[in-house]
Structure 1
Amino acid sequence: MSRIELLTENFRSVRRYTNMVIDGISPDDWFRVPDACPTHIAWQIGHITIGNYGLALAIPRGDRPDDVELVPLSFREQFARGSTPDADPTAYPSIELITSTFNRVHDQILAELPTFTDELLDDSPPLEHPMFSTKFGSLLWSIQHGYTHAGQISLLYRLNGGTPRF
Structure 2
Amino acid sequence: MINIQTVFDEMNLHEQIALQFLEPIPEDRMTEQPNGLRNHPTWILGHLTAAHNAAISILTDISIRPESETALFAIGSTPHADPALYPDKQTLIDNYLDIHQHYIAAVTAASPEKLAAPSPLERHKGRFSSLAMFVLHVGTAHEAYHLGQLSAWRQATGIAPPLNTDTGNYPKN
Task: Calculate the TM-score normalised by the size of structure 2.
Answer: 0.83
5 Å-filtered alignment, 1:23-42, equals: 23-42=23-42
The residue number in structure 1 matching 2:93 is 99
Task: Kindly indicate whether structure 1 or structure 2 has the higher relative contact order, using CA contacts under 8 Å at least 6 residues apart.
Answer: 1
- Contact residue 152 and residue 162 of structure 2 kept, 8 A: no
Residue correspondence of structure 1 range 16-95 to structure 2 within 5 A: 16-55=16-55, 57-59=56-58, 61-64=59-62, 67=63, 70-95=64-89
Is the CA contact 2:45–2:93 (under 8 Å) kept in the aligned structure 1?
Answer: yes
1:153 maps to which residue? 150
- Structure-1 residue corresponding to 2:5: 5
Are residues 121 and 2 of structure 1, via their aligned partners in 2, closer, same or farther at CA, if it must alter by over 3 Å?
farther
- Tell me which residue corresponds to 1:132: 128
* Residue equivalent to 2:115: 121
Residue 2 of structure 1 deviates from its aligned partner by 6.4
Are the counterparts in 2 of residues 45 and 99 from structure 1 also a CA contact under 8 Å?
yes
Aligned partners of 1:131 and 1:141 also within 8 Å? no
Distance 2:155 2:136 in 1: 28
Kept in 1: contact 2:30–2:41 (CA 8 A): yes
The separation in 1 between residues aligned to 2:116 and 2:65, in whole angstroms, is: 26
Structure 1 gaps, min length 5: none
In structure 2, the CA distance between the partners of 1:63 and 1:49, relative to structure 1 (3 Å rule), is same
Q: Which amino acid aligns with 1:73?
A: E
Percent of aligned pairs with the same amino acid: 27
What value does the CA root-mean-square deviation take over the aligned residues? 1.8
User: Quick check: 2:41–2:150 contact (8 Å CA) kept in 1?
Assistant: yes
Deviates more, 1:29-38 or 1:132-141: 29-38
